[in-house]
Amino acid sequence: MNQPKGAALVEVLARHRDTLLTDWMNQHLSIALRRGLTTEAEMADQFRSFLNVFVDTLTRADTLDGNRPEWEPVRAYLAEISTHRARQGFTPAETATFVFSLKQPLYARLREAFGNQPAELADTSWSVNMLLDALGIYTTEVFQRSREAIILRQQEELLELSTPVVQLWEGILALPLIGTLDSARTQVVMESLLQKIVETGAAIAIIDITGVPTVDTLVAQHLLKTVAAARLMGADCIISGIRPQIAQTIVHLGVDLTNVTTKSTLADAFIIALQRSGSSIDNVTRLQN
C-alpha cells in the first residue's frame, strides 16, 4: 500500500478493529432490528464479514476509490447482502445506512490517531467519506436491480396465470390473448403455446386476439413466427378475433397473412378446426345423445 492516507487508515483499523466493530454495531443495530426483519446474530455476522473484507481490500488496494476494480471483493459482498435484504423487505435506505453508519465510529478513531495533524485528519476523513459514500450508493443500485428482477419474475408468473392455453376439443387448443401485448410478453406466451402443442399433441391451435386492442409490427411478426414454428412442428394455427381496426393496421404494416387462416370470431375458427380434425358440429350433437 503506497498511498499515505490509505496506510494510516489501515493502521487505525488494524489497531481498533474490535472497538470499531462494537461501536458500529451499537450505532446501527437498533435501526436494523427495529422492524424485526432480521436477527442480531445475522446482523453481527454481516458487520463482522463486511469489516473483514473491507480491511482486507484496504490493505491490498492502492486506491481509495470505491468504484475501482480493486474494490470488487467489497462490492461483491455488499451486492450479496443487498440482494438478501431486498428479499427480506428492507428499504434501500436501510441497507445504505448499514454502510454509512460506519463513518461515525471511523471518524472517532481517526480523530484520535491524527489529533495533532488537522490537515491529514481532514484529508483522510474526506477520502473515507468518499469511499463509504460510493459503497453506500452501490448498495442502493444493487438493491434497485434486484427489486426489478423480482418484479420481472412476478410479472412472468402473472403472465402465465393470465394467458392459459385452453383445450377446446381433442386436438384443438385455444389461446385467448387479452390486453396489450408487448414484445417480451408475446414471446413468452407463444413459447408456452408451442410447448402445450407438444404436450397435448394438438394439431390445431386457435390464437384469439379479440381482447387485444392494438397490434404493432413486432407483435404481428411474433404471431407470424409462432404460426410458422407451429407449422414446422406439424400443427396448424388459426388466428381469430381480428377486428376491423387491427385488420387495417396489419394491412398498413405490410404484414403478409396470405398463408395463415384467419377468422373474425373464435366460434368460426372452432368450426374450421373441427372440420380439419375430422369432426363437425353434427357429429358432436349426435355423440351427446
Footprint of another protein on this chain (CB under 8 A)?
142, 145-146, 149, 152-153, 156, 191, 194-195, 197-198, 201, 203, 225, 228-235
Number of H helices, E strands in the chain: 11, 5
Residue 37 or 152 with smaller CB distance to another protein: 152
The least CB distance from residue 207 to another protein, in Å, is 15
Q: Give least dist CB 262 to another protein, A.
A: 19
Query: Which is nearest to 106 in space by CA: 46, 20, 26?
Result: 20
Nearer to another protein, 164 or 234 (CB): 234
Please say whether the dihedral angle defined by the alpha carbons of residues 262, 266, 268 and 272, taken in this order, is positive or negative. positive
User: 142: which residues sit within 8 A by CB, 6+ positions away?
Assistant: 78, 79, 82, 83
Residue whose CB is less far from another protein, 104 or 155: 155
Strands 166-169 and 204-211: unpaired
Q: What b/e readout covers 195-222, taking b as 16+ CB neighbours within 10 angstroms?
A: ebbeeeebbbbbbbbeebeebeeebbeb
Taking the least distance from each CB to another protein, the nearer of 196 and 243 is: 196
For another protein, the closer of residues 2 and 259 by Cβ is 259
CB of 133 to another protein, least distance (A): 20
Q: Which is nearer to another protein, 94 or 236 (CB)?
A: 236
Neighbours of 52 (CB within 10 A): 13
CB of 136 to another protein, least distance (A): 18
Under a CB-based contact definition with an 8 Å cutoff, are residues 171 and 234 in contact? no
Compute the least distance from the CB of residue 1 to another protein, in Å: 24
CB 229 to another protein: min, Å:
4
3-state secondary structure of 11: helix
CB of 73 to another protein, least distance (A): 14
Pull the grid cell for residue 253.
404494416
Nearer Cβ to another protein, position 10 or 224? 224
Cα gap 106→287, rounded to integer Å: 84
Residue 107 corresponds to which amino acid? Answer: Y
Beta carbons within 8 Å of 218's beta carbon, 6+ residues apart: 183, 186
